Amino acid sequence: MLKRCLPLLLVSGSVLAQEIALEPLPYRDYGWFVGDVLDRCWHMDLDAELAPLKLPHTLNRWLTVRRAILKNGRLCVRYQIEYAPFTTETVSIPPWPLILRLPNREQPLTLPAWKLTLAPLRPIQSLKGESFMQGERLPPAGLAAIVRQLQLGGVLVLAGLAGLLSYLFLGRRQIAWPFCRAWAELARLPEDEGGCLQAYLCLHRAFDRYWNGCWWGRLNEFLIRFRQFQPLQAELETFVANSRHLFFESEVAAEPWSLERLRRLARRLALEEIRHGGLVR
């Protein structure tokens, strides 16, 4: 009896041990980025189904299997790229074992290893990385000056209208525009270190006019008295700290603000000044 069954066992063992021929279908193996989803397919001459899989399945740090479908002899696996290399890199995808369900048995199947070329999220840089840097796109100097002059002209017109209305409704009380004047002066200063330091002095003189030269060191009292400038408190505190380090504490290294930043501060102060009708004496 054992002799009769032995050939059948050998045949069955050979059937179970035989490998399933997989024919890889074409796919793009380069130019993929982190987060991309790609499908890799194989063809097999076999009527089978896939055993249930626990997905997603992480193959390695590069790929995660999101879906696997076997239909009409076509096995398609959907992968998602989970990691970005520092430069273009060809990575190895390890074999992945599956279980096929045939009419009378289960058959193991291992998808072969393959390779994939992944791209970084930035350009590939040579030894001279600065060659990949884009130049600044600044408007022409003449155009920037014209825009600044138009802005200044609009503010001066608003200041004039505010002054006229204040004169009509407040009688002959004097109205000053210290921050409007400071912004006008900053617009004419040269773009150099001397012009930057002069901008500091212009702003400090404007603050002095609000409090008869006694504003320095009393910013909190200044903001309580002139509440219209309270929205600028954080910027003013930074300006005061920078001025203190720059002019009064020589042992503390301080980098002066750029002229453009000082102009922005002057513009914001001037707009608040206009909204509240200037400095009424």
Share of the chain above pLDDT 70, in %: 73
Among 83, 70, 159, CA closest to 118: 83
Q: Is-contact 98 55, C-beta < 8 A? A: no
Q: What is the 3-state secondary structure (H, E, C) of 20-51?
A: CCCEECCCCCCCECCCCEEEEEEECCCCCEEC
Query: What digits encode the pLDDT tens for the residues 98-110?
Result: 998 988 889 899 9
**Domain boundaries along the sequence of the chain:** 20-121, 144-280
Instruction: Give the pair of three-digit tokens for residue 36.
Output: 């991309």
Which long-range contacts (C-beta less than 8 Å, at least 24 apart) are formed by 170-173? 170/280, 173/280, 173/281
What burial class does residue 117 get, using C-beta atoms within 10 Å of its C-beta: 0-12 exposed, 13-18 middle, 19+ buried?
Answer: middle
Share of the chain above pLDDT 90, in %: 14
What pLDDT is recorded for position 18?
Answer: 54
The backbone torsions φ and ψ at residue 122, rounded to the nearest 5 degrees and listed phi first, read: -135, 165
Q: Of 9-13, 39-43, 52-56, which gets the smallest average pLDDT?
A: 9-13
The backbone torsions φ and ψ at residue 118, rounded to the nearest 5 degrees and listed phi first, read: -105, 145
* Res. 208: pLDDT tops 80: yes
* Res. 15: pLDDT tops 50: no
pTM exceeds cut of 0.85: no
What pLDDT is recorded for position 113?
Answer: 92
What pLDDT is recorded for position 173?
Answer: 57
Q: Which H or E run contains 13?
A: helix 2-17
What pLDDT is recorded for position 133?
Answer: 56
Give the mean pLDDT of 52-58: 88
Distance, in Å, from the CA atom of 38 to the CA atom of 30, rounded to the nearest integer, reads: 11
Q: Is-contact 51 99, C-beta < 8 A? A: yes
Q: What is the 3-state secondary structure (H, E, C) of 147-189?
A: HHHHHHHHHHHHHHHHHHHHHHHHCCCCEECHHHHHHHHHHCC
Give the mean pLDDT of 101-125: 83
Eight-state DSSP code of residue 247: I
Query: What digits encode the pLDDT tens for the residues 68-85?
Result: 988 888 999 999 998 888
Query: What digits encode the pLDDT tens for the residues 152-173?
Result: 667 667 766 766 665 555 555 5
Distance, in Å, from the CA atom of 36 to the CA atom of 82, rounded to the nearest integer, reads: 8
> Can the peptide bond before residue 56 be classed as cis, meaning omega within 30 degrees of 0?
yes
| CATH class of domain segment(s) 20-121 | mainly beta
Eight-state DSSP code of residue 257: P
Cα 103 versus chain centre, distance: 55
What pLDDT is recorded for position 12?
Answer: 39
